[in-house]
Amino acid sequence: MPLNLEPNFHEPGKHYLHGFSPGDEFYELLIKMHRPLSEAESIKVNARLILLLANHIGDLSVLREAMTIATQCATQE
Amino acid sequence: MLKTYTYPKFEYRRPEDLDCTTVRRHPVLIVGAGPVGLALAIELRLKKLSVIVIDEDNTVSVGSRGVCYAKRTLEILDRLGVGDRVVEKGVAWNVGRTFFHEDEVYRFDLVTDPDHERPGMLNLQQYYLEEYLVERAQAVGVELRFKQQVLSVDAHEEGATLEVQSPDGRYQISTDWLIAADGARSPIRRALHLDVEGHVFQDRFLIADVLMKAGFPPQRWFWFDPPFHPNQSVLLHRQADDVWRIDFQLGWEADPEVEKQPDRVIPRIRAMLGAEHEFELEWISVYTFQCRRMAQFRHGRVLFVGDSAHQVSPFGARGANSGIQDADNIGWKLDLVLRGAAPQTLLDTYHEERAYAADENLLNSTRSTDFITPKSPISRVFRNAVLELAEHHAFAQRLVNSGRLSVPACYTHSRLNTPDLDAFAGHLTPGTPADDAPLPDGSWLLRQLAGGFTLLYFVDPGRRVDAEIAALTALVDDDISINLVLVAAIGAARSRYDAHHGTLYLLRPDQHVAARWRQMDLTRIRAAVRRACDLH
């Protein structure tokens, strides 16, 4: 399965009236998680988060594709 | 400054109360002649109630302020009789464009579903809306008392007694129901020592109304970190009379007095527009905002509506729009209670339904604000990563949050709803505002709704339903009258309402769905009306 680049945030059993709501909820969780952290702590937490999620995804072809897109963005800067 | 608009001076009339030896008692007194207080006054007056509105000033709002009015608000204004004027004067738009640095990263269209009479959004300077509402209020017989200030409030079990300062002296006035539509700083809320909970956002925004002839299309343009205003955001809206509204984010450290000076403002605008556009300043202001609401919108006989009850960040146009929906929610309930047709507990559902709406507005506008104004370096890193990815990837576009624009709240958990017994597809569950649809004769569905309870009866064209109509018509004579509206079960009306031949929707006077059925059953219809009126 290729990397999903379409909106995909959701929660089982939860019904959303607006398409943007689950994504906004994710973003709020992310920013709230970082709020009490120092910058150094945030970097560590981000690293752990990437490792956890990468393992959950598991499929190396998907992870490779995500890495490519993430670094493409960086080289455009 | 201020070239396109002449501020009206509304007439002050010496109040009769000054010459009375006894304190006069009125059914409803509204404090505050802003859009919310005026909308409610017109609504109540259209229901034949006598209404007084008191306001300190004798003119309209200075500057464009509210600006964006959502489709639902326009539909409410239609019912109040000012929708056509507002739409004729305003600038309709549906498309919003979002830029990061110099590139467009995201574009949205508010009306994904065509065939609505009203546009997704309409821009109009608040002073025009207020002027039209004042004229309409006067035409329908609302008593407007300008240049009068409430000095004190005594709230008690049977109503409230107020002391009012007029240019000709002080008087006392008594009311069964007091409506505080007196804005974010609500003197009534303060006089009653009631708290409003939340917080101030540590940011400042410069707003400028600019007169210019520019060929930009009527769209909402939002910039994150543009080259002409680095590290901050900018918002551009087109309004009536070639007046454009520009909001510059300044940051918390900015000095509002310095930033308001034209010699500071003009270079900012020139940097944005480029040297080729000539413009003139009409109005400048610097604002901060708060996200907060009162714990209770109803305190006995005192009801808080609009900004006095709740305040949100401006991103998403959820302030004025939610205030007008407050008025829409409370008007019919107050009418039924004043007539003795419904218990006072019906007004508790004003708080329940509109506090739910306020929380939804607070949640969405706070999320927008956190995206627009990152509070830490890591937060900014994520924000910019979203914007970078958004240029190419749909998932990230969905995360770009420059304001989630006002949509009406769906009171899906309200106790006034009758739960579905039959299966329905689509989004019009009980509690949801009725959706508009074009009708075969060229008119619009929402225009058929007169203001009371309405039963929409969907019928396949050509089928005889004389007996059913005769039976349903009897409902008009009920204590709480129900108007019958026949709708051809075809086209957008059929699909939006998931209507078959014989489908019925009961709509509350504020056009929210109270109940719906596949089969006609007068007992069930009457029970649903009683439930919607909180009669047990």
Could you identify the residue written with the tokens 């019928």? B459
Residue range B410-536 forms a domain whose CATH class is alpha beta
CB-based contact B418:B507 (threshold 8 Å): no
Residue type, B10: F
Q: Checking phi first, is residue B43 left (phi over 0); if not, alpha (psi -120 to 50) or beta? A: alpha
- Asked if residues B491 and B438 have their Cβ atoms less than 8 Å apart, the reply is yes
> The complex's ipTM?
0.95
Domain with CATH 3.50.50.60 in chain B: 16-89+124-197+294-363
**Closest-CA residue to B2 (of B90, B82, B69, B61):** B61
Q: Rounded to an integer, what is the distance from CA A76 to the centroid of its chain? A: 20
Query: Cβ of B427 and A5 within 8 Å?
Result: no
**Mean pLDDT on A21-32:** 97
Q: Which residue of B has its CA nearest to A6?
A: B395
Given a contact cutoff of 8 angstroms between Cβ atoms, the answer to whether B425 and B495 are in contact is no
Q: Does the beta carbon of B298 lie under 8 angstroms from any beta carbon of chain A?
A: no
Q: To probe the interface with B, which of A27, A38, A67, A72 has the most B CB atoms within 10 Å?
A: A27
Nearest residue of chain A to residue B410 (CA atoms): A17
Using CB atoms within 10 Å of the CB of residue A38, give its burial: 0 to 12 exposed, 13 to 18 middle, 19+ buried.
Answer: exposed
Cβ distance A24 to B367 less than 8 Å, yes or no, reads: yes
Cα(B131)–Cα(B147) distance, integer angstroms: 16
Specify the pLDDT at position A23: 97
**Cα B462 to the chain's mean position, in Å?**
39
pLDDT number for residue B198 = 86
Q: How far apart are the C-alpha atoms of B510 and B328, rounded to whole Å?
A: 6
Q: Which residue of A has its CA nearest to B399?
A: A23
Going residue by residue through chain B (536 aa), what tens digit of pLDDT does each one get? Answer: 668 899 999 999 999 999 988 999 999 999 999 999 999 999 999 999 999 999 999 999 988 888 999 999 999 999 999 999 999 999 999 899 999 999 999 888 887 677 899 999 999 999 999 999 999 999 999 999 999 999 999 999 999 999 999 999 999 999 999 999 999 999 999 999 998 988 888 889 999 999 998 888 889 999 999 999 999 999 999 999 999 999 999 999 999 999 999 999 999 999 998 888 899 999 999 988 889 999 999 999 999 999 999 998 888 889 999 999 999 999 999 999 999 999 999 999 999 999 999 999 999 999 999 999 998 999 999 999 999 999 999 999 999 999 998 889 999 999 999 999 999 998 999 999 999 999 999 999 999 998 899 999 999 999 999 999 999 999 999 999 999 999 999 999 999 999 999 999 999 999 999 999 999 999 999 999 999 999 97
The Cα-based distances of B347 to B34, B154, B332, B343, B532 in angstroms read: 22, 20, 10, 8, 12
Q: Which of A26, A32, A34, A41 has the most B C-beta neighbours within 10 Å, making it the best mutation to test the interface with B? A: A34
Interface test with B, best of A10, A24, A38, A77 (most B CBs within 10 A): A24
Residue listed under structure tokens 């939006």: B496
Angle between helix B71-80 and helix B319-338 axes, rounded to 10 deg: 40
Size of interface A-B (CB pairs under 8 A): 60
CB B306 within 8 Å of CB B245: no
Could you tell me the two tokens for B325? 């929906």
Residue B485, both tokens? 């509206």
Phi-psi region of B214 (alpha: psi -120 to 50; beta: other; left: phi over 0): beta
What residue of A is the nearest CA neighbor of B432? A17
- CA dist A12 and A14 (Å) reads 6
In chain B, residues under CATH classification 3.40.30.120 are 410-536
DSSP B219-277: -EEEEES-TTSTTSEEEEEE-GGGEEEEEEE--TT--HHHHTSHHHHHHHHHHHH-TT-
Q: Which residues in chain B are closer than 8 Å to A37, comparing Cβ atoms?
A: 378
Name which residue leads in pLDDT, A55 or B276: A55
DSSP, residue by residue, B447-465: GG--SSEEEEEEE-TT---
Q: Is B379 on the interface with A (CB under 8 A)?
A: yes
Contact between B149 and B56 (Cβ < 8 Å):
yes
* CATH class name, domain B16-89+124-197+294-363: alpha beta
Which of A19, A31, A76 lies closest to B370 in CB terms?
A: A31
Contact assignment for B371 to A39 by CB distance below 8 Å: no
Give yes or no for a contact between B322 and B70, defined as CB atoms under 8 angstroms apart.
Answer: no
Identify the pLDDT of residue B91: 96
Pick from A6, A37, A77: which is nearest to B395 by CB?
A: A6
